[in-house]
Every structure is written in structure tokens, then in C-alpha cells.
Amino acid sequence: MSVWRPGEAPLRPKARGRVGRPPKLLRRSMDHRPVSARELVIEMGQGALRRVAWREGSHRKLQSRFVAVRVRPAHRDYWRAEPHEELWLLAEWPRGSAEPTKYWLANLPAETTLEELVRLAKHRWIVERDYLELKQELGLGHFEGRSWRGFHHDATLCIVAYGFLVAERSLFPPWRVRGGSSWQERSRRRTTGRGAAPGQARRHKAGSIASIRERITGWLIRQLPCCPFCGARLL
């Protein structure tokens, strides 16, 4: 990925000659050329890096060192009449690494903060998790039809159901037991150590889509006066 240094841009087209069409394409020269994103970030040095945390992990906050700068992409701009617009170049340089490891280009507004850039760049994990839950818990991967229209109908219903479950999940506060311990600690006490209950531990986390779906299903069942199939009264 090649970019122009901050404040730089490709050279304007040559002046029109006596004959022929006027030149329209942007130019470069031997002493005016773009650099790779890696070279630019290394030139800025580690002093420009800032530590940013983007979310809570399973054990601790996920954080790393980042730097962001406004640049113009240089990809094949010698075939263009106008330069590319300015974009954000975001680079991640973890502590202990000899050079930056990841790069992003973003067309977000110039006033966007570094924290917001990092949050959106790292949002891919959440998107992948949503897609996984759609496939495993709501049947997005179960469609076996052959028509494009049928696939869209199935995907639409899955997305609507997922949106409903996410909205319901936001209504439930995090589970806590007396003494301030979390549901994770309570689950570990039930399934490990002295006095552990026999049987397999629960597969789902309390705040997962599968658990919320199970709780909603249980609530709906409790609203029925009796079983719709055998007529037995439900406890």
C-alpha cells in the first residue's frame, strides 16, 4: 500500500504543448514519489504511537499502540486526472514488534479521534461473531434451496430474529450473585472443586444469543396453561 506523505500530492499534469491534446494525467518524478505505509509509519517513529484499548477481553482489556495520520493514497494515481481524496491511515505497532503489523485506510471525517478509529478498525471481531451466531443459533447456514429469492427470504427472517434477540439481550443486566461475584465465577463453583454439582457445565454464556433465546422460550412456555400437544399442565 503506497501513500503520499502528509501534505504531499502527485504533480499536476504537464503544461500544454504547441500541438496535441492537453495532458490530463497526474505525474511523479524521481525526487517526488510516494512511499509505502510501512516506510511512513517507521519514519514517524515510536514516539508518535499512543496506547489505545478498544474493548474488554476474556481476561483483561485488549489494547495496543496505534498511530493515525491523514494521507492521500497513491495507488495508480498516474492514470488519474485528479488525486485521491485524503484518508485516514491507521497503523498498529504492538510493543515488542520490530515494525508495524497492521494497516487500515478509512474515509472517516478529519475530526475523528484515534480512539474511534481503533474501535471501528477492531469491530471486525464483533461482525464475525454476529455472523457465527446467525449461522449456528438462528439457522442462516441451514438454507438448502436453490433460488436467490428464497435465500434472501431466509436471510431476512434470520436477521430479523437476530435483531429481536439482541434487543431483548440489552434488557437483561449482567447476572450477579450475592457477594458481587459474576455468573462466570458462579458457573465455575457449580462445576469444579468440592461440592460441584454432577453433570456437564452449561455450554452457553449468560449473555449469549443462545442463552437469551432459551430464556425467552422458557418464558413463552410458562405463559401456556397446558401443553398444546398432551394437555398436561405445565409447572
76-132 residue pLDDT tens: 988 998 999 999 999 999 999 999 999 999 999 999 999 999 999 998 888 888 888
Domain span at residue 17 reads 2-120
In a domain, 73, yes or no: yes
Examine residue 211 and state whether it is found in any structural domain, yes or no.
no
Nearest-angstrom CA–CA distance, 111 and 128: 28
User: Cα Rg for the chain, rounded, in angstroms?
Assistant: 28
Has residue 132 been placed in a domain?
A: no
Strand stretches in the chain, DSSP E:
2-4, 35-36, 50-56, 61-73, 87-92, 102-106
Place of cell 427472517: 157
pLDDT class for 190, splitting at 50, 70, 90?
very low
pLDDT at residue 177, as a whole number? 42
* Residue at 147 is within a domain: no
- Residue 133 burial (CB count, 10 A): 19
Domain count, the chain: 1
More reliable by pLDDT, 217 or 156: 156
The reported pLDDT for the residue numbered 88 is 95
Indicate whether 34 belongs to any domain: yes
92 touches 100 (CB < 8 A):
yes
User: Which residues share a beta bridge with 66?
Assistant: 50, 92
Which has more confidence, 193 or 226? 226
The partner residues of 72 in beta bridges, in order of sequence, read 4
Taking all residues of the chain, what is their mean pLDDT, rounded to a whole number? Answer: 80
70 close to 87: Cβ distance less than 8 angstroms: yes
227 lies in a domain? no
